[in-house]
Amino acid sequence: LVSKLTTTWEDPDSNAKSDEAHVPAFQWNIEDIASEDKLTNTVSLTKSSAAAGIEDIILCNRHVDMAFHSSMGDLHDASKLAAKEGSMPLVLEEGVLSLTVGREASDDEEDGSEED
């Protein structure tokens, strides 16, 4: 999918607001965006005592801790396989991924700092 997309250099003398011949820098050129992936492999992740870590994300305007209870090596291996395939379904053993929903995110957190 990504290899079928092109990014052209935007003409610095072109004005997107007033130039009728303006061509945007990014163009979708995929003929069939709805075509299905050919998923030939599946990666299974199992729960490990050596957890890969926790990522703090904002989901639906709430702070969420996303904890990966699989080993970092297993996650890297899955990532490498998925990069070769383009897409790959993951089968997660119970407890491999946990989400802990926390406080509401506020507008003043844009700088990346958090206040409790």
Q: Which of 78, 66, 69 is nearest to 51 (CA)?
A: 69
Q: For position 116, what pLDDT does the model report?
A: 46
CA angle 104, 108, 111 (to 5 degrees): 110
Across 82-98, b (16+ Cβ under 10 Å) vs e yields eeebeebeeeeeeebee
CA distances from 45 to 12, 66, 68, 91, 93 (A): 48, 15, 10, 6, 6
Q: For position 85, what pLDDT does the model report?
A: 73
Give per-residue pLDDT as tens, 67-85: 999 988 888 888 888 877 7
Give per-residue pLDDT as tens, 8-57: 555 666 666 666 766 666 665 555 656 666 677 788 888 988 778 899 99
